Structure 1
Amino acid sequence: MRKPPTTAGVPDELQRRLGGTDAVVIGLGSMIGAGIFAALAPAAQAAGSGLLIGLALATVVAYCNATSSARLAARYPASGGTYVYGRERLGDFWGYLAGWGFVVGKTASCAAMALTVGSYVWPGQAHAVAVGAVVALTAVNYAGVQKSAWLTRAIVAVVLAVLAAVVVAALSSGRADAARLDVGDDATLGGVLQAAGLLFFAFAGYARIATLGEEVRDPQRTIPRAIPIALGITLVVYAVVAVAVLTVLGPEELADAAAPLSDAVRGAGVDWLAPVVRVGAAVAALGSLLALILGVSRTTLAMARDHHLPHALAAVHPKFKVPHRAELLVGAVVAVLAATADLRGAIGFSSFGVLAYYAIANASAWTLTPAEGRPARIVPVLGLAGCLVLAFALPLTSVISGAAVLALGAAAYGVRRTVAARRS
């Protein structure tokens, strides 16, 4: 195996400015918001009263992925996440495929989060607001990763306060009924698996911690600690909110809800809280978008360094110490998608790409030796199997489009290698 990459003496080196708390907060900003405001309704539509079982399955897969990612990130503390791990442990092609799946899938996630902001802030002009949000957050990221971490910290605090208010309002109302949590005949195995795949969309934020590995202080200690902490907090929040919403709305009403948390507080008879929830949803989506742009730009940087993408994108700003060209390109592409794309259609497509990304992460973790910090063998096995099962349990359109995009990336890799071989 190759030795862990280092950046010592490299002119385009990023600076290690993020501590453990910053890393946890960035992970929370990625996870809390994206799924809790967007994925509950389609998951309930797929699984009905089996929604909580789907959440539990997504939790198991997310834990395995987080553990594998944490061990790999400690071994390879460089920007790029599974792109780097797959390349170092499995070979250039698998690293490239992981990076391709991440960049494409998460670019779609960025557009989805931007459109969520627009839908809550100004529904009649959702696309215009979405583009404005992308431009503003790209500018924040351009100014430096430490500023992004501080903004994410504020966003997470606001979102957690709003979610706490929703839970208290729902569970303390006279309309909450625990019987709505019972699993009925509407829950099928296929529906539960599909719900788990859709809910996984919300748990994937811990990848942002790993992709920022080159900007974290003492990454061998910080990253393995930050990932499970961020994931654990998110899981507790998601479970409590899902239970609260289900006890008020029930699975059928939740499945039809355009804004589940707003509908839940109205159903609980606390109408005055609905506008607050709308603001919280917009702030949550902004936090997710901020962290997503960070992660996609860093993977773009890593791929550009290896010439899988134009090498000009590997440049690091001399003052702000960020991959400014990569961030500007990602921001431009996301702005175009936010102006033209459909919100719900992006979730399944993104989930397929991210599950493929983590399948490669688990396969990479399997190759670690005990001396390299390998997790228990069952962890990468369950993670790999879970990722593949959930990916192909997604809606058929998501599977077809996601597989087609991965195949396109593989073909591009083959063409590039053929051209390079002929030149040599």
Structure 2
Amino acid sequence: MTHTPREIVTTVALGLPAVLGAGVFAGFAPAASLAGWWVLPALAISALAALCSAFSTADQSRAYPDVGGGYGYVRAQLGVWPARMTASAHLLGRFAMAAAVALMFGAYVVPGQPMAGALILVVTTALLGAAGFRFTAGVSALVSVVVLVVLGLVVAASFSIAPVPSAGEAGTVNELVGVAGLMFMAFAGFERITAPARGEKPHPVAVLRVAIPVLIGLSFLVYLAVGAGVLRQLGSARLALSPAPLRDALVAADSAALVPLVQIAAAVAGVAALHFVLASAHRTLTGLTEDGDLPTRLRPGALSLVVVLASALAVVLMPLGTALGVAACGTLFYYAFTNASARVLLQNDRTWPMRTACLGLGLSVLLAMSLPIPAMLISIAGLGAGTGLIGLTSALRGRRAASRQRQPQGR
């Protein structure tokens, strides 16, 4: 069955708002502090890892259309405990990403009170979701156009005027793989099209065969252009210290008049990306309750409150650079499990060869273990604590259920 270019463009437009978030607006600062100009070739490694993981989630979504994302895939393929670890990694990554997106919003839109701006964004986006607002194809296309046009202006301005000589350069090639891991989180919104939520119409395989590489490839080109522009205009040392790199690059390029447009784009991109992040976390929590790993009495409203509180706590506890690192590490651990799960899918459930999942698994582990030590330690601790808490909750629930069953027999 053939599909029109319009269907492919629509599918890509749905995914772009989930991808063009904190990474493109704020990710280059911590990346430049580690690897300087080497962040640009590192993006190619990030994109390859994202491409493999996107193929894996698309295959599994087709094989298990009614389960809760990666947690459900791993539970069906690998068992209960790997699924609990997957859920913990995913939730950790989502809450850290929510903090990163919100703090990016605060740095650009409310620079005087970035923390307050971040918390307001979390609450406002959650209320929009609770009210039933959804990023339809039309809304997503509009968001994509706004953000891409503004990013194009930033790139043009950054190359239109010679930069002021930089006092020095930051970063080394030794951090190439670690920066590739850090920037992986910039591509992680692809599940918006590869693993649609329940009730959403799945995308045909023929469309995804083209749309996934186009989405990842277009995102890669956008990141490459923006990264080259801000690095040229600010230099890696100045960029590493910038809380809002795109804004500072415009100011350095004598284009401060465009700063309000960047603020608008950051606000639009922040709401869109955070909407996806919160919905993704809610989906995993829903899967945990349905399978009995969390109390089944938790209703959607209560789960939404948990997501908001956890995201707000992450905003308060983690600065932007740390949030980006933890988001990348947790997300990479999550995709290590989902790629491992995709490896054992039956051949007739595959859209892409098994070697894609094998490469995705290897890259996910390599990139996660190459991230900065603080982010990796926080992620490992969070993964252990989350898995243990889920296991303990499930065990207590099982004991209470067994006790209730024995009570009538004892009378």
How does the TM-score come out when normalised to structure 2?
0.86
Distance 1:410 1:137, change over 3 A: closer
Alignment check: 8 A CA contact 1:83 1:99 kept: yes
Correspondent of 2:287 among 297, 302, 321: 302
* 1:75 and 1:220 in contact (8 A); partners too: no
The equivalent of 1:207 in structure 2 is 191
Which amino acid in 1 is paired with 2:185? F
For the pair 1:68 / 2:53, whether they are aligned, the reply is: no
Match of 1:194 in 2: 178
Structure 1: gaps of 5 or more residues: 1-18, 316-322
- 1:236 maps to 2:224: no
Relative to structure 1, the CA distance from residue 417 to residue 280 in structure 2 (aligned partners, 3 Å threshold; closer, same or farther) is closer
* Alignment of 1:392 onto 2:392: no
Hey, what's the Cα distance between the residues in 2 that align with 1:149 and 1:100? 30
User: How far 1:250 moved relative to its partner?
Assistant: 3.0
Contact conserved, 2:97 with 2:323, CA < 8 A, in 1?
Answer: yes
Distance 2:262 2:162 in 1: 20
From 142, 152, 161, the equivalent of 1:154 is: 142
Question: How far does residue 140 in structure 1 lie from its aligned partner after superposition?
Answer: 1.4
In 2, Cα distance between the equivalents of 1:338 and 1:24? 30
Corresponding residue for residue 407 of structure 2: none
TM-score, length-scaled by structure 1: 0.84
Is 1:134–1:334's contact at 8 Å kept on the other side of the alignment?
yes
- 1:373–1:275 CA distance, 2 compared to 1 (3 A): same
1:338 aligns to 2:318 (yes or no): no
Answer whether contact 1:77 1:219 (CA < 8 A) is retained.
no
Q: Which amino acid aligns with 1:209?
A: I
User: Does residue 115 in structure 1 map to residue 103 in structure 2?
Assistant: yes
Deviation at 1:366, TM superposition (A): 0.8
C-alpha separation in 2, matches of 1:74 and 1:193: 32
Counterpart position of 2:338: 361
From 406, 411, 414, the equivalent of 2:383 is 406
Amino acid at match of 1:73: S
Q: Secondary structure at the match of 1:123?
A: coil
Q: 1:387 to 1:218 in 2, by over 3 A?
A: closer
**Which residue of 1 is the match for residue 247 of structure 2?**
262
Identify the range of structure 1 (240-249 vs 57-66) with the bigger mean alpha-carbon deviation: 240-249
User: In structure 2, what residue type is equivalent to 1:53?
Assistant: P
How far 1:362 sits from its partner (Å)? Answer: 0.8
| Conserved? CA contact 1:70–1:224, under 8 Å | no
| Aligned residue number for residue 216 of structure 1 | 200
Letter of the structure 2 residue corresponding to residue 42 of structure 1: P
- Aligned partners of 2:315 and 2:240: how far apart in 1? 25
Name the residue aligned to 1:370. Answer: 347
The question of whether the paired residues in 1 share the 8 Å contact of 2:32 and 2:170 is answered with no
Structure 2: how far apart are the matches of 1:79 and 1:117?
A: 32
Number of aligned positions between the proteins: 392
The partner residue of 1:55 within 32, 35, 43 is 43
Decide whether the 8 Å contact of 1:176 with 1:247 is kept in 2: no
CA contact (8 A) 1:112 1:338 kept: yes
Deviations 1:30-81 (A, max 9, x none): 2112201111111111112211121111111111111111111121223522
Question: What letter corresponds to residue 300 of structure 1 in structure 2?
Answer: L
Equivalents in 2 of 1:258, 1:232: separation in Å?
Answer: 27
Letter in 2 for 1:410: T
Matched letter for residue 246 of structure 2: L
Q: Residue 253 and residue 127 in structure 1: after superposition, are their counterparts in 2 closer, same or farther (change >3 A)?
A: closer
2-structure distance, mates of 1:127, 1:256:
18
Compute the RMSD of aligned alpha carbons. 2.7
Distance 1:192 1:357 in 2: 22
In structure 2, the partner of 1:9 is none
Contiguous gaps of at least 5 residues in structure 2: 1-6, 403-411
Deviation readout 1:244-287 (Å, 9 max, x if unpaired): 22232333332232222122223323222233223322332222
2:260 to 239, 261, 275: 275
Identity %: 33
